[in-house]
Structure 1
Amino acid sequence: MPERPSRPPLEFLYPGQHDSINERIGFDIVAVHGLGSNVDWSWVWKGHNKQVHWLKDPDMLPAAVPNARIMAYSYESRWHIDAPKTHLGLLGEELARTLHGVRAKELDRPILFIAHSLGGLVVMHSLLYADRTDDLKYLPLKTIGFVALGTPFRGTRMQSLAKIVSRLLSFLGSNDKVIDDLGLDNESLTEKVHEFCQLRNKLQIPSWCFIEQLESDYGEKAGVPGLFKGIVVEEASAHIPGWGRTGLNTDHFYLNKFSGPNDGSFMAISREISLMYAGIHADTEPSRMRRKIGTSTPLCRMG
């Protein structure tokens, strides 16, 4: 099989890497896509003869947080065909090392993560790895926010279906290691989430979960609309007790795609991002209360 063209693991979406506005950057935003997705289209809404990339459209996230440097993390999350032999722990380590390399001269700059689906678990593994690695310990300390869009913190019922598909496609180079821990109430995932909650609570990292409220149509993706529909990540998995939460009137595949600045889902998500950044500058009582949401470790025991 021909070698895939290489690309930088972190792509600068706004401002450009050499734009003069870089001098006014106050914090970094890193977007991490989900399972089987691609950095080129994961954050892009398509429809009505237009495409909207909300992470770099000047009327969307850059307008909501104009002093942010917005980057998208590019990693291979394919699992069904020609899939890399990787797993969640390794993906997390690679994210932490990549951020360290890009931010070598900006170690004190605050960082905020936006993650869709599996991407939230990659961020979780990344911060846990950084916390136990001497030269990376500053990363969780500088994390000022974590926005999780349909992240399966308790796994998903769909994992069993994905495992079957992976086995059927083994002759095409599938890899089910990356989805091993995604079974509902998987013991390994439960322990990792609990460990992450302890770290998050200790550092009081503001975190917000966004939850899909509409079923996803898998049949439509296969060319047979309505054949199979369902909620990919149930609320009980997408939300950790004690963390902030918002339900969005959309399905799993559109939790990370928005039609414009007046899209209700975008408005809800950008509001939380703005408040997270504002929280590091405002030592007001409401700000302190927002930062303390979910600081009780027992709440992180899910199930």
Structure 2
Amino acid sequence: QGTINKNIQRYDVTAVYTHPQAKVDIILIHGLNGNPTKTWTAGNGVYWPTDLLPKTLEEDGTQANIFVYGYNADVAGNKDKKPSTNFIHEHAQTLVSYLTSFRKRRKSQRNPIIWVAHSLGGILLKRVLEHSDHVRASAHEDDRAIYVSTYAIVFLGTPHEGSDLARWGEVLQGMVGRVPRRLFDSEPILIKTLRKDGETLANINANFINIQQRFKIHLVHENQKTDLKGTMSLIVDSKSAAPKWYNTTSYGIEADHSGMCKFASVDAPGYRQITSVMTDWVKESPEVIMYRWQVEDQDRRIRAQVELNERARPFVCLNPFSSKCTGVPFR
């Protein structure tokens, strides 16, 4: 019997559903101006990570732990909250640190990971995987577990190729009420990340394309427009949300940008499409990730031996072609 946890932390990893037989972790990341509760809650109050997904998995004969991650994605402040001043790479480092510690405490670092990321959360996730992949030093090997364990990703309305800044400003004004125009004139850091042709987004995409084929990926776009002060518009169009990546699956959901990650019932548009593939991933991922960890362990042993050999050498030859080799102490 699984356990549901309704005490969701605003800025941390929360296990909202756990099952003693689960060997896979499903992790959800919200987007801009979202949080780990409201982003996934439908208008009728259904919080699908706990109210729908566990039963769907069980009916398909499988189980998974379900986590949500919260970070400060606010871009407009008031007396109760302050907008984020962190750059996307700082958010990524924090997520890696928090999730690594969280899974280490649970002794589940090698569990396969399936991600569901909405909007900006998908950009953050790509940066997380790049950061985790680049870890090679033995002192930080725990952080690399996120990359090694990641099996699949559902990107929901993620602006991989950017989105219009003015459009995001209008969206956020609708979300948070009357926001002073000067707030958007100053370009909050996280909105700047989403700018089309921006350097940050270009760098993230260039690095992610090198590891993208390692993962099962579904690219999901919104089919319905959002009402922006009387003007109907797609927040993230299909070209940006579903770029032509090799060996990925793309489709739309009959919902707007905010509604595409909120499922009021199992019959809500997109729910069965997304969760049916997730149940397949839960079943097939343990064998694949176990093999990847065997390869990773072998690589770590080789790196450790190389490091040991280097430390054992008191000098490094500056000119190996000289008959009189001079050296300097190795550091």
Choose from 73, 76, 83 the match for 1:77.
73
Partner of 1:110: 112
Distance 1:7 1:152 in 2: 24
State the SS of the aligned residue for 1:56: helix
Partner of 2:57: 65
State the SS of the aligned residue for 2:262: coil
Distance 1:199 1:73 in 2: 23
CA contact (8 A) 1:85 1:175 kept: no
Partner of 1:188: 200
Deviation at 1:229, TM superposition (A): 2.0
Choose from 116, 124, 127 the match for 1:125.
127
In the TM superposition, 1:211-290 aligns within 5 A as 211-219=221-229, 227-241=230-244, 242=246, 243-280=248-285
Deviation at 1:35, TM superposition (A): 0.2
Choose from 37, 42, 48 the match for 2:39.
42
Distance 1:194 1:235 in 2: 20
Work out whether 1:9 is the aligned partner of 2:12.
yes
Distance 1:281 1:85 in 2: 38
Deviations 1:2-41 (A, max 9, x none): xxxx8560122113xxxxx3x2011111100010112221
CA contact (8 A) 1:144 1:277 kept: no
Distance 1:256 1:277 in 2: 20
- Structure 1: gaps of 5 or more residues: 1-5, 16-20, 220-226, 284-303
Deviations 1:59-81 (A, max 9, x none): x2112324111011011110122
Deviation at 1:278, TM superposition (A): 2.7
Count of residue correspondences: 256
CA RMSD between the two structures: 2.4
Distance 2:237 2:199 in 1: 18
Deviation at 1:162, TM superposition (A): 4.0
Work out whether 1:56 is the aligned partner of 2:68.
no
Deviation at 1:277, TM superposition (A): 2.2
- Structure 2: gaps of 5 or more residues: 1-8, 174-178, 289-331
Deviation at 1:184, TM superposition (A): 1.9
Distance 1:51 1:13 in 2: 16
Partner of 1:298: none
Q: Which amino acid aligns with 1:34?
A: G
Distance 1:175 1:184 in 2: 13
Deviation at 1:282, TM superposition (A): 7.4
Distance 1:162 1:216 in 2: 11
Deviation at 1:272, TM superposition (A): 1.9
Deviation at 1:163, TM superposition (A): 6.0
Distance 2:274 2:103 in 1: 25
CA contact (8 A) 1:79 1:175 kept: no
Q: Which amino acid aligns with 2:70?
A: S
Rg comparison, structure with higher value: 2
- TM-score when scaled to structure 2? 0.72
CA contact (8 A) 2:10 2:36 kept: no
Deviation at 1:108, TM superposition (A): 1.1
Partner of 1:32: 29
Deviation at 1:147, TM superposition (A): 0.5
Partner of 1:149: 156
- TM-score when scaled to structure 1? 0.78
Distance 2:187 2:74 in 1: 8
State the SS of the aligned residue for 1:209: strand
Distance 2:69 2:114 in 1: 13
Structure 1 pair 8–84 and aligned structure 2 pair: CA distance change class (3 A): closer
Q: Which amino acid aligns with 2:270?
A: S
Distance 1:147 1:44 in 2: 18
Q: Which amino acid aligns with 1:143?
A: T
Distance 2:33 2:194 in 1: 14
Deviation at 1:138, TM superposition (A): 2.1
CA contact (8 A) 1:56 1:62 kept: yes
Distance 1:7 1:160 in 2: 28
Q: Which runs of 4+ in 1 moved over 3 A?
A: 160-167
Partner of 1:99: 99
Distance 1:267 1:246 in 2: 13
Distance 1:260 1:63 in 2: 12
State the SS of the aligned residue for 2:45: strand
Work out whether 1:208 is the aligned partner of 2:221.
no
Which has the larger displacement, 75-84 or 117-126? 75-84
